[in-house]
Each structure stands twice: as C-alpha cells, then as structure tokens.
Chains A and B, each alone.
Chain A
C-alpha cells in the first residue's frame, strides 16, 4: 500500500475513533441543562447513527480512492501560487465588500457579497485543492481583516464551496454530472425553501442594512427567503442557456452545489456551536447566505470563466 493511501486511511480512522468516543462514551450521559456543548446521543439509535458516520467516511474514502490518480488532486508550483492568489483575492474582496470600505447596497435583506465568486471560480478553474484553500484561508483572512474574528466552521464551509466546485474535474461525462448536480441541488433548494415557509418568523441573522445600521434583527423577508429559489432558477437558466459552452454551464452548476453543501455545513454546525434550532440555522443563516451566493454564481462566475478562457487563448497555457 502506498504511503499516501496509508495516510488517508489513518486520517479517516482517527475521525472514526473520534466519533466513536463522542457517540458511545461522552454521548451516553445526559447534557446538563444550559450546557454550551451538548454531546448527548440518543442511545436507542446510536448504532444506526454511527453506521451513517461510517457510510459518510466510506463515501469520502471511495471518492478519493477511485479518483486518486486524477490530476485534479495534484499540488504543484502552479497550484501553490493559484491557492495563494485565490485566497488573497477572496480575503481582499470580502474585506472591501463587507461594508468596511464600500457599502454595497442590500436588496430586501439580500446582502451583496460578490467575493463568493472567487472560490467558486478558482475551484472550478484550478481544481478542488485550490478551491478549498482559496475559500477556507481567504475567508479566514477576510474575517480577520474585517475584524470579525474567526469562525472556523464558516471558513471550512467556504472551503467546501471551492472544493465541491473543483470536483467537476473528477468526472469524465460533464453533461451527465451537471444534470445529476442540478437534481441534487434542486432537491436541497426545495427542502430549505419549504423550511422557510414553515418558519417565516425567523430573524435574518446575516442581514446588515448599511442605511439604517441594522444587523441581525429584522424577520427574514420573503425575497431573502426565496432568494435561493431565484438563484437556482438563474443557475438552471445559465446551465441550459449556455448548453453549448460547457465551461460556463459546469462552473455555475458545480459552484451552486458547492455553495449549498458548504453553507449547509457551516450553518448546521451552529446548531451545536451556538445552540441554534434547525429552523434558526437554515432560515436565519443558510438561506440569507446561500440564496444571494447562487445569484452571484449565475452572474459573476460566467464572466470570470469567459475572461479566463480569453487569457488562456492568448497565453497558450
């Protein structure tokens, strides 16, 4: 067995042991009332839950094993420089558009955060490793520059956006993979939009209104709630409208799935970290973040893809 494969197996094994300890040892006890960290696990279904952990890790391992020869996972000089450029650009754009330098207006609680196009584009154009680094490290530096401090789970979530966007490279049949991604994303969009309609009274915790200096207060507006549906429709329109230009269609489609998975990861983690309820995490955090991001995926990512294609044609690289 080669060294790389052994390392991956050890890494996954450590994660499995960690989950086993949390679920079977720490999770046995009841959480103290008001405790910030609640690790208690329903012992009636603990085995089933653990099985899902194993399945998740097996899927991750299978994804790696069957694609380990793929060039998408390689990290050479070019990838190192692109990682740094992607992360630095994402950090700078996040800092500038977070309201510190330029106040970009909001529309019906939909904050314009165009920087998210960077990890999506870098992931798609330069691979999953570059995408992950650009998103995770860029978000970390962006938050640090803005002075928000660090939210590691949101940085990882941003990293996942770039990682998933870059996984387009792993599939030979791009059309089929795009269609599958569209179905999966559609199902997730429908599910989260349904949660919004069932929980209309949730405050929009990501909303910052520069005109009135309001942060995290107003109940989520209808447009913010359905922005993910609007974004999905726009992405689908780009997917089929640019059917002849597979690069544009694939970049926005994979960027969309990355955005959904990455931000679901980050917002759901706040259930444990900040003690949010599921509706608060999805309606108050996920929807106002993921909806506008999809709109950016549909508009800005194609612009970057077209501009980069022109550069490639000129430079021949």
Chain B
C-alpha cells in the first residue's frame, strides 16, 4: 500500500502557480543563493523565503518537527562555526578581535580560549541566512506539490516520459519506504535488535546494519515486480504517454519563471564581477583595528 505525503490543497502563493513554474523558480533561487556570501545580498533571498513560508498555508503543527530540526541544525551549525572560526577560513584571511575569553583552567597544558571576532560573527550570520533560505524553501515543496501532478510536472519540465514517470514513482515511493523501514525496525526490535545501541568495532557496526537495510531493499525489489507487470500490461513505454491531468501555464507562471531567470542571471553576473563576496562592515573593522 502506498503512503502519501502530507499534501493538501491550500490557498498559498506556491499553489497559485503552475508546479513547473515553481520548480524552475526554486532552481533559480537555489543557484542564486549559492552565488553569494555577503549578508546584504543574501537578505533579500531570506525575506523572499519568509514571505513564501508565511503565505504557504502550511500549519505549524504539520511542519513543526521538520522545521524545528532544520532551523535548530542550521542555527547550531552556524553558532558552532562562530565559536571555532574554522568554517570561514577560506573566505577571510584576517580577523579583528572583539573580545577574548580564556578559561581559568588548563587541560594537559592546553587552555581553552574563545575568540569573538567581527569576521566570525558575520560569517555565522551569513551562513545562517544562506543555508536557512535554501532549507526553508526546500522543505515546503512536498507539502505544496500535488502528488497527482508529479509526473506531468517533470514531463512539462522537459524530461522524457520514462524519466518523468521515474521521478513521479520516486516521490511516491519515499513515504512508503519510510513506513516499510519503520515496520522492519519494529519487527527487528521484537527480535531483540536495537538500532540505537549498535556496538563493536567498525566492521561489526556496519554488519549489524544489514538486518535493517537488506530486508527493506529486497522487499522493495520483490514488490517492484507487481508494478512492472501492471505497467507492462498497460503497454508502458511503447508509444508516447498521455497524462490524465493537464497543466496550463499562464501569464503569472511566465512572469515567475522570467523573474527566477532574471535573479539567476543577475546573481551570476554580479558574482563574476566580484560582488557578493564575504562582507564585513568597514566601521566594525575600524572599530576593532589594533
């Protein structure tokens, strides 16, 4: 039995557009965001993300678990980078110290020191804004894209019938296999297997994952025979495929696509000319110049 995503029809900006137009815009947004490290350039993307989030119609209780994890992860990732200062070493060479905290104790001669610098602080903020924008835009997709339109959407994006249908099946199988995985874990737990307490050496640990991965994979492959038979009986792949649903792209969808392309082209041109690199306000640098 197939399990479905938590999609439902909502009054939202995302669902107002044709899914093909939205995916093209999403791709443009993604690559544009990756072109910058300057928080001034990243902020418009973040604001756009928040607008999309708050108009998505997705209820807090639906998205809470995933959202808290992602934002927590991005925040912690940025905060830890801020504490250590290692992540931004490729983007800035010099640091301007704001304050230094030194512990009163030593561990085997090593005294833990926390340096707060202007560059680390801005790198952490830039990282949070950059990764947060991408993560929030991504997580909204399964909640907003109608599963019945997966195939025709990818077909409309230029994929062949076969690959469009493969994408459609992939998106449909994901929640189903997630459920199968949980069932397998429960069944193995009933036999005394505890995934959370895997112990032993490296090879032992890897081997102990076998009782989870192998049954789920093999069960999926065995189950595929029914789907293959059903598709063969309907002469899949013999001629051009027809789709039950038809997508219509109107003016607002074209505007969204061109808006996305414009953002992408502008971002690439700006980055080619050296704009959007990691930025720290001059006033702060002067303030903390030694």
Seen from chain A, the residues whose Cβ lies within 8 Å of a Cβ on chain B are 26, 31-37, 39, 75-85, 87-89, 91-93, 95-96, 100, 102-105, 107, 110, 112, 114, 117-118, 121, 133, 137-138, 141, 143-150, 203, 213-217, 234, 273-277, 280, 295-296, 299-300, 303-304, 307-308, 311, 315, 317
Complex Cα gap A35–B138 (Å): 27
Q: Which among B81, B131, B170, B224 has the highest number of chain A CB atoms within 10 Å?
A: B170
**Interchain CB contact (< 8 A) of B134 among A79, A149, A299:** A149
**Nearest A-chain residue to B164, judged by Cβ:** A80
Are B138 and A295 neighbours in the complex by a CB distance under 8 Å? no
Q: Is the CB of B206 within 8 A of A295?
A: yes
Q: What's the Cα separation between A114 and B237 when bound, in Å?
A: 33
C-alpha spacing A81/B224, complex, angstroms: 7
Question: Is the beta-carbon distance between A150 and B138 smaller than 8 angstroms?
Answer: yes
Whether A216 lies near B86 (C-beta < 8 A) is yes
Q: Binary interface profile of B, 156-190, with partner A (CB < 8 Å = 1, else 0)?
A: 00000011011111111110111001000000000
Residue numbers in A under 8 Å from B181 (CB-CB):
92-93, 96
- The answer to whether A92 touches B80, judged by C-beta atoms less than 8 angstroms apart, is no
Are B277 and A36 in contact, CB atoms less than 8 angstroms apart? yes
A102 touches B207 (CB 8 A): no
Report yes or no: B166 in contact with A275, Cβ–Cβ below 8 A.
no
Q: How far is the CA of A103 from the CA of B221 in the complex (A)?
A: 26
Residues of B within 8 A of A216 (CB): 77, 80-81, 86-87
A296 neighbours in B (Cβ, 8 Å):
206
CA of A138 to CA of B171 in the docked complex: distance in angstroms? 10
Q: Please, which residue of chain B has its CB at the minimum distance from the CB of A148?
A: B135
B268 cross-chain contacts in A, Cβ below 8 A: 37
Please state if A36 and B80 are interface contacts (CB–CB under 8 Å).
Answer: no
- Does B4 have its Cβ within 8 Å of any Cβ on chain A? no
Contact B232 A77 (CB under 8 A): yes
**List of A residues within 8 angstroms of B207 by Cβ:** 299
A147 and B162 within 8 A (CB) = no
Given known contacts A35-B273, A105-B205, A92 and B174 CB-to-CB distance under 8 angstroms: yes
CA distance A133 to B163 in the complex (A): 9
B274 at the interface (CB under 8 A from A): yes
Q: Are B170 and A114 neighbours in the complex by a CB distance under 8 Å?
A: no
Q: Are B139 and A147 in contact (CB under 8 A)?
A: yes
22 contacts between A and B (CB under 8 A): A35-B273, A80-B163, A81-B166, A81-B231, A83-B169, A84-B168, A84-B169, A85-B173, A87-B173, A88-B177, A89-B216, A95-B178, A104-B198, A105-B198, A133-B166, A137-B167, A147-B70, A273-B34, A275-B91, A276-B90, A300-B206, A304-B217
Of the residues A79, A121, A295, contact of B203 by C-beta under 8 Å: A295
**Does A36 contact B37, Cβ atoms closer than 8 Å?**
yes
Q: Mark B137-167, 1 if CB is under 8 A from A, else 0.
A: 1110100000000000000000000110111
Closest to B220 in A: A85
Nearest-Cβ distance from residue B3 to partner chain A, whole angstroms: 11
Q: Cα distance A276–B90 when bound, in Å?
A: 7
**Contact A77 B86, CB 8 Å, known A35-B271, A96-B181, A304-B214:** no
Known interface pairs A133-B166, A147-B73, A273-B34; A85-B221 also in contact (CB < 8 Å): yes
* Other 9 A-B pairs with CB < 8 A, given A84-B170, A149-B30, A304-B218: A36-B276, A85-B220, A104-B195, A104-B209, A105-B198, A137-B167, A150-B134, A215-B76, A300-B206
* Partner among A150, A299, A311 whose Cβ is within 8 Å of the Cβ of B206: A299
By a CB distance below 8 angstroms, the chain A residues around B139 are 144, 147
Complex Cα gap A110–B205 (Å): 12
Q: How far is the CA of A148 from the CA of B137 in the complex (A)?
A: 11
Tell me which residues across on chain B come within 8 A of A95, comparing CB atoms: 178
B55 beta carbon closer than 8 Å to chain A: no
The smallest beta-carbon distance between A74 and chain B, in angstroms, is 11
- Report the bound CA distance from A283 to B174 in whole Å: 33
Query: Is the pair B169, A80 in contact by a Cβ cutoff of 8 Å?
Result: yes
* A88 contacts across to B, CB distance below 8 A: 169-174, 176-177, 220
Report the separation of the CA atoms of residues A304 and B141 in the bound assembly, to the nearest whole angstrom. 32
Residues of B within 8 A of A315 (CB): 222, 225
Task: Determine how close the nearest CB of chain A comes to the CB of B92; give it in whole angstroms.
Answer: 9
Cross-chain contact of A37 among B220, B221, B271 (Cβ < 8 A): B271
Q: Does B36 contact A (CB under 8 A)?
A: yes
Least CB distance, B40 to chain A, in whole angstroms: 14
Residue of A nearest to B132 (CB): A149
Judging by beta carbons under 8 Å apart, are B170 and A141 in contact?
A: yes
Cβ contact within 8 Å between B214 and A150: no
- The answer for the CA separation of A299 and B206 in the assembled complex, in Å, is 7
Chain B residues, Cβ within 8 Å of A117: 213
In the complex, the answer to whether B218 meets A89 with C-beta atoms within 8 Å is: no
Which of A85, A114, A203, A213 has a CB less than 8 Å from the CB of B213? A114
Do residues A150 and B30 form an inter-chain contact, with CB atoms below 8 A?
yes
Question: A317 — which chain B residues lie within 8 A by C-beta?
Answer: 225
Knowing A36-B37, A77-B231, A311-B221, the reply to whether A149 touches B206 (Cβ < 8 A) is no
B163: chain A residues within 8 A (beta carbon): 80, 83, 133
Residue B69 at the A interface, CB < 8 A? yes
Is B111's CB within 8 Å of the partner chain A? no
Q: Least Cβ distance of B79 to chain A in Å?
A: 10
